[in-house]
Structures are given as structure tokens and as C-alpha cells.
Amino acid sequence: MPDTPQQDSPQQNIAPPDSRLALANRRIVLGVTGGIAAYKSAELIRRLKDLGADVRVVMTPAAQEFITPLTLQALSGNPVHTTLLDTEAEAAMGHIELARWGDLILVAPASADFLARMAHGHGNDLLTTLCLAARCPLAVAPAMNQAMWASRSNQDNIALLQARGIPLFGPAAGEQACGDVGPGRMLEPTELAHLTAGLFPRQLLTGTRITITAGPTREAIDPVRYISNHSSGKMGFALAEAARDAGAQVTLISGPVHLPTPDRVQRIDVVSAQDMYDASLGALKQTDIFIATAAVADFRVENSRNQKIKKQDNSGTIQDGRMTLTLVENPDIVAAVASHSPKPFTVGFAAETQDVENYARQKIARKGLDMIVANDVSRSDIGFNSDQNAVTVIWPDGQQAIDLASKAQIARDLVTLIATHYQQQHKNAR
């Protein structure tokens, strides 16, 4: 199967999920030890990041003789860790915290000396200490002279590591930097990155980029007053967590709410509908699925004021004890997303107080959506600001009710349903 959609397909705008983001949300601690192959670590960081990984680098003193921490810091976008007994580094992220941070410790290149120390449980530098303290899996990519690789002691160490279930990536055979020919070359970075991705199970939405809007928007009247609504953001934040847990790379565009950012989710804070519109359209290049949970203000104040409006205002806004505001329509974010080319799979929510399904069906057509989640907000036990919800999911030729449950559970059910329809649309598009 080609992994780009065919030109004449009606769904040609949808980017297919592929192995591009096979490491989305994954945190890799990359250990670099001393050897000529250390220069390939720079490329390896880029390949791991291409697949969506967040990478933190730990270098042994010998590794720093071959490549500078600064290079690997610039490429990883994170500070490089070099010493065990450094109070400043420990204050920023201690070695135990770093060991807990990673989903995998990959040592590439792994020198014969490092493999020996690892096999025998040494903890005499930062990298070996991390390997001892880690709860996550470890993997090694050996790189050394072919005679060292073949030596009895190295092979015994390798056997010890393999007996512990530590995956061994390579080494490859071929011409070596020293002129010898034989096994001992580190595998190429692209192959290492894909072997690393292969250690993690594929999930329902692995490789998929999801943008979610959440919470209310605030439309300023003046610097101290605004128009808004009762959305707490709970439904949107629950969806962000559920999508992340299904393997998606999630961008959460949130209006003003009092919720902590879910782990491994990229959050963009906005205030007004116009801000949310700009952020949503700006995220579209990296969006395969767009979910509009936000309760966006349909209208904003036409001439919001820069100074607080006084009760005795004489500009005509306040007259005879009445304040008059002219409201103008805000842009419709989800409709703009759905009419965009390329178009992501677009899911709206419909907050209604009566004739819920009927109004929701009208919105699907009017806004050009692939799916809509109808929410009865006349009930106080569900919808706005509650911890529970009950919804009916509607798509052009079907619908499914999701009964009363926590927003976390509703979000998981929604993510499964959305993923199924999104993947079906893909299949049809190919």
C-alpha cells in the first residue's frame, strides 16, 4: 500500500497515520559512551526526534572526547547530563529523576568498557548509575573494534546482558575506522531509531496528530469585565489524556480554565475566540484529527474598551441606568477547520438544551463535520462543569449513545469511536 493518498481520491487531503510518529510521547534517555561512533549519536538524536521522541542525552567522560555536549544539547533541545556528582545538575534534574523520566535507556554507541561495567552492575558514573536505578527497559547498540567484540570477556558480558533480556542492536559487520574488517560497527542511526520504535507496542492512534480545543473563551467588555460561559475544560482535557493514552501526539488549545496540563500533552493557552481561531488554524499543518470541545463564545463585544467603563460613562454605552453593548459574530473555528484544505478528520460538539439530536444533525451539515458529539446541557448532572457526561455521537449515516459515565470514561469511548471512523475514512481514501 502506498502511504500517501492517491491524487484522485475524494479524501486525498487526509494524511495517513504511518511510522513517522511511532515514538510520539516516548521519552528516550540516550547514553553515549566513548568511541568513534559517538559522532553518529548526533544523527541518531535527529532520527529519534523525527519519530516523535523526547530525547535527553547522558554522556560519559570518554564520549565527550569524541563529540561535544553542546552539539547534542542543541540537537536534543534538552540539557546534556555528564556527571553524577554535580550539585547544579542534580538540582535541575537528579539522576534518580532522570532514570524515572525515561521510557527507555538506549546506549549508543555502547563501548566494550561500558558493557563490561553494565554487565557487572557498576555504578561508578552517571550512565551506569542510571542503568541500575532505571525501572524502564534498557537497550544497547555496541560499537568497538572487531577483535574486542570477539574477545571472550566481551562475549561473556554480552551473554550476561542478553540473559537479562536487554535487547542488543547490532553490531553490523564491515570496514572499521581502524582499518579492520569484521563485526563491531554501530548500526546506522535510521535503523537504530526504527529498532527503538519497535520496542514499543503500536497503539490505536500511534502516528496520529490530534488537536483539541477545550474550555470557554472570554470576550472582553473592558479590562475588568468579560462575557463567557460555564465550561470548565474537563471534557476537553479528559479527551486529551485519552488520545495521548491511545498513542496520539496531542495539542490542547485551551481557554481560561483551572486544570493542570496533562503529562506529555502540548498546551496552548488562549483567551478569546479570535485567539482560539488563530491557534487552531496555526496547528492545522500538524493535525490529522481536530476535536472541538470548547464552548466558544458565538459573539464578542464590537468595541471593547481599553479603560474600565465607569457607571457615569458619557460615551453612550451607559444611559438611563442601562448599558448597551453591540455584539458581533465570532469566526466559527470548527467550520473553518472543516473547510480547510487539507482537511483533518473534524469532530464537533453540540451543546443543546432541547431537541438535542436534531440540532446536532443540523450542525454536522452546516459546519461540514465528519462527526458530532451531542451534549444535553439542560441537565445539571452532565455537560458544563460536571465530572460526568452522557452523549450521543452522530455521523452522517449513523449514531451511537454513550451512557452516563465519568468524563474520563466518556473520553476513552469517544477516542475509540473517533479512531475507528478516522481509520475507516483512510482505508476508503486509499
Residues that bind ligand PMT (CB under 6 A): 213, 215, 231-235, 273, 292-296, 298, 330, 332-334, 348-351, 363, 375, 377, 383-385
Return the number of the residue (34 or 215) whose C-beta is nearest ligand PMT.
Answer: 215
- The answer to whether 104 touches 29, Cβ cutoff 8 Å, is yes
Return the number of the residue (23 or 350) whose C-beta is nearest ligand PMT.
Answer: 350
User: Number of C-alpha atoms within 13 angstroms, CB side, residue 394?
Assistant: 22
- The answer to whether 211 touches 290, Cβ cutoff 8 Å, is yes
d(CA 32, CA 55): 12
178 is catalytic: yes
Query: Distances from the Cα of 64 to the Cαs of 44, 83, 184, 189, 232, in angstroms?
Result: 16, 11, 21, 19, 49
Catalytic residue among 74, 92, 177, 178: 178
d(CA 91, CA 26): 24
Question: What's the min distance (Å) between Cβ of 158 and ligand PMT?
Answer: 53
Give the Cβ contact number of residue 274 at 10 Å. 15
Rg over CA atoms, the chain: 27
Helices marked H in 222-322 — which ranges? 234-245, 273-283
DSSP state of 81: B
Question: What's the min distance (Å) between Cβ of 249 and ligand PMT?
Answer: 21
Question: What's the min distance (Å) between Cβ of 350 and ligand PMT?
Answer: 4
Return the number of the residue (34 or 233) whose C-beta is nearest ligand PMT.
Answer: 233
164 three-state secondary structure:
coil
As given in the structure block, the three cell numbers for residue 378 are 439542560
Question: What's the min distance (Å) between Cβ of 348 and ligand PMT?
Answer: 4
As given in the structure block, the three cell numbers for residue 303 are 468595541
240 three-state secondary structure:
helix
As given in the structure block, the three cell numbers for residue 346 are 473534524
Residues catalogued as catalytic: 178
